[in-house]
Amino acid sequence: MSKNTLFILLSLFLTAGFFACQNDNNETEEVEVSLPLPPNNQIAPPAELDTIFKPINGVVRGFDWSATAGDIQAKETASPVEEADESKKVFTIDLNENEFADITYQFQGDSLASIQLDIYPADEAAAQRYAGNLKSFFNVKYKKRSELWEGSENGKIFTVFLTEKNSDAGPFVTVIWERESE
């Protein structure tokens, strides 16, 4: 036998073997992976933030993502600020003589979609202190991060975002809790 004939036979043999070993079932199997939900540890906030975060259950102030505008209107202990429409409820809390915080509950349909907390401190040093306390608190309450955290409440995943800013009116710290789309 010549080399060419051996080469052709070997090639045919390998090709036939390759096709024989292939699985006729080309369907892909989908595997559902269940990842653990991020934490929302029910811990006491720093004393300076106690007024803002009490009660500590739920996502914030005892409310979870199933809360309706009526639930929040009936149970929120902070003072109402404005009644824009049913898609938003705004409340204010005096933290001390010179500082306050606004809490905005935003709704999508019948349920809570996001919560925004704006803290208006007396000065930039107080803003840095609030931001530092919030960061430390969130690193224990949720998964440790720097300015964006993940949590879950009753199986609903949400993100938490923290910023510290300055404006013409002065410094402020903003925290936004936002429910992930379903």
Kindly report, residue by residue over 87-99, the tens digit of the pLDDT. 899 999 999 999 9
* Residue 154 pLDDT greater than 70, yes or no: yes
Q: Quick one: CA dihedral 120, 124, 130, 132, positive or negative?
A: positive
Evaluate whether 66 touches 79 at the Cβ level (below 8 Å).
no
pLDDT at position 84 is 64
Query: Which residue has better confidence, 26 or 49?
Result: 49
pLDDT at position 8 is 61
Looking at residues 124-145, what average pLDDT do you find? Answer: 91
* Residue 151 pLDDT greater than 80, yes or no: yes
**What's the predicted TM-score (pTM) here?**
0.77
Looking at residues 70-96, what average pLDDT do you find? Answer: 89
Query: Which residue has better confidence, 143 or 160?
Result: 160
DSSP lists the bridge partners of residue 100 as 94, 120
Q: How many residues does the chain have?
A: 182
Between CA 176 and CA 158 the distance in angstroms is 10
For the chain, give the percent of residues with pLDDT over 90. Answer: 51
pLDDT at position 18 is 54
Evaluate whether 61 touches 69 at the Cβ level (below 8 Å).
no
Query: Which residue has better confidence, 95 or 21?
Result: 95
* Residue 13 pLDDT greater than 90, yes or no: no
CA nearest to 117, candidates 93, 131, 101, 97: 101
Chain-centroid distance of CA 177 in Å reads 6
**pLDDT confidence tier of residue 43, bands split at 50, 70 and 90:** confident
